[in-house]
């Protein structure tokens, strides 16, 4: 049910550039990345909204130097407020506003699927050039939906086995969810669903096995499958890198994406382990603001610039220019 609704909200191609930052594991630097990319984009003169969807462990407001706000996304989830724009609060950084994720419902913090669809639609109406979405940990369907409807999805990982494992779980969840959305027939969707069970009886072990199965039942679904795979371009960021070997991890993960999932992931950069980051968090400000000359800040600004270039290359958002921006499926999940 929710999946089909999610597919529908992807249709309106106007509004802000939507960038989701996830990573499966908690504590890998999702919030750090969102706060700093948002600040860097705002410093570059863009109108930016950062939104904390981690209603169970919200702290984006703290990293941005905003005292615990009264209004939060939780008000939207609980239907106390239906207009996201009314939940915007200013941050100390000019051009950057926040929708906090504080005081979520302790029992059921995640929005139900209908509310989620409304929320995903509302994100596109925010008065901004970029909306950066800070995702919670794990692979809950709501987390995956934010990741998949975004124009860009960043996967953050650190050079630790636990983080790398969770990053792959996250990628796998996103990959199969996206494929299931792309399938039109019930039989193909069932097949994808079966493949998501990693101990399935049909012997589908890899995405390649699945593609062959899908193709064998319906060639046109096979083509949709291939298109969905091709247009899925997650971006990779390695955080807390301490050595050249850590930096290489991004290339290695990229290679696995290609050789296992068949997807072209883009390694957009890394952020080195830097004391300046710790100092900045204590000052409750993004490191690109407090220590603009630190290595971490230099790398973060580079990533921001790269994302900005990529969003420009895809073409400006006004309808008049959209015709030149290439096929819709190249920019958006599910063609």
Is 305 a binding residue for another protein by CB under 8 A? The answer is: yes
Is 165 a binding residue for another protein by CB under 8 A? The answer is: yes
Is 215 a binding residue for another protein by CB under 8 A? The answer is: yes
Cα separation, 288 vs 297, in Å, equals: 5
In the region spanning residues 97 to 126, those forming contacts with another protein, defined by CB under 8 A, are none
Is 185 a binding residue for another protein by CB under 8 A? The answer is: no
Cα separation, 87 vs 193, in Å, equals: 37
Q: Which is nearer to another protein, 76 or 270 (CB)?
A: 270
Which of residues 89, 298, 325, 328 is near another protein by CB under 8 A? Answer: 298
Buried b vs exposed e over 284-296: b needs ≥16 C-beta within 10 Å? bbbbbbbbeebbb
CB 26 within 8 A of CB 32: no
CB 231 within 8 A of CB 330: yes
Is 176 a binding residue for another protein by CB under 8 A? The answer is: no
Is 208 a binding residue for another protein by CB under 8 A? The answer is: yes
Work out how close the CB of 162 gets to another protein at its nearest, in angstroms, rounded to a whole number: 10
Instruction: State how far Cα 102 lies from the chain centre.
Output: 20
Query: Which structure tokens are listed for 205?
Result: 């072990």
Identify the H or E element spanning 266: strand 266-272
Cα-based distances in Å from 137 to 69, 166, 170: 22, 9, 9
Residue recorded with tokens 């975004």: 150
Q: Which is nearer to another protein, 115 or 248 (CB)?
A: 248
Work out how close the CB of 316 gets to another protein at its nearest, in angstroms, rounded to a whole number: 16
Is 168 a binding residue for another protein by CB under 8 A? The answer is: yes
Is 273 a binding residue for another protein by CB under 8 A? The answer is: no
Work out how close the CB of 282 gets to another protein at its nearest, in angstroms, rounded to a whole number: 25
Q: Which is nearer to another protein, 176 or 225 (CB)?
A: 225
**Beta strands at 235-241 and 152-157: parallel, antiparallel or unpaired:** parallel
The residues of the shown chain that bind another protein, judged by CB under 8 A, are 159, 161, 164-165, 168, 207-208, 211, 215, 219-220, 222-223, 225-227, 229-231, 233, 241, 243-245, 247-256, 258-262, 264, 266-270, 272, 295, 298-299, 302, 305-306, 313, 330
């Amino acid at each position: 049910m929710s999946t089909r609704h999610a597919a529908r909200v992807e249709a309106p191609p106007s509004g802000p550039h939507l960038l989701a930052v996830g990573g499966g594991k908690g504590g890998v630097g999702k919030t750090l990345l969102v706060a700093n990319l948002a600040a860097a984009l705002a410093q570059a003169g863009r109108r930016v909204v950062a939104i904390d969807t981690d209603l169970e462990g919200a702290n984006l407001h703290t990293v941005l130097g905003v005292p615990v706000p009264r209004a939060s996304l939780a008000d939207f989830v609980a239907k106390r407020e239906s207009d996201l724009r009314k939940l915007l609060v200013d941050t100390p950084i000019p051009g950057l506003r926040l929708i906090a994720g504080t005081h979520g419902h302790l029992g059921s913090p995640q929005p139900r699927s209908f509310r989620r669809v409304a929320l995903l639609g509302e994100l596109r109406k925010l008065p901004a050039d970029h909306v950066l979405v800070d995702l919670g940990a794990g692979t809950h369907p709501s987390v995956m939906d934010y990741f998949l409807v975004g124009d860009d999805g960043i996967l953050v990982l650190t050079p630790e086995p636990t983080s790398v494992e969770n990053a792959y779980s996250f990628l796998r969840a996103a990959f199969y969810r996206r494929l299931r959305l792309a399938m039109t027939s019930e039989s193909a969707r069932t097949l994808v669903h079966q493949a998501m069970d990693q101990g399935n009886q049909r012997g589908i072990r890899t995405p390649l096995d699945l593609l062959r199965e899908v193709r064998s039942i319906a060639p046109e679904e096979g083509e949709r499958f291939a298109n969905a795979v091709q247009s899925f371009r997650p971006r990779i960021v390695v955080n807390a890198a301490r050595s050249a070997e850590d930096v290489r991890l991004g290339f290695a993960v990229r290679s696995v994406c290609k050789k296992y999932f068949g997807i072209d992931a883009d390694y957009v950069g890394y952020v080195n382990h830097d004391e300046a980051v710790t100092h900045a968090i204590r000052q409750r400000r993004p490191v690109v603001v407090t220590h603009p000359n630190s290595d971490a800040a230099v790398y973060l600004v580079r990533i921001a610039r790269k994302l900005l270039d990529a969003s420009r290359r895809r073409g400006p958002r006004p309808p008049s220019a959209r015709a030149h921006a290439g096929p819709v499926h190249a920019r958006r999940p599910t063609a």
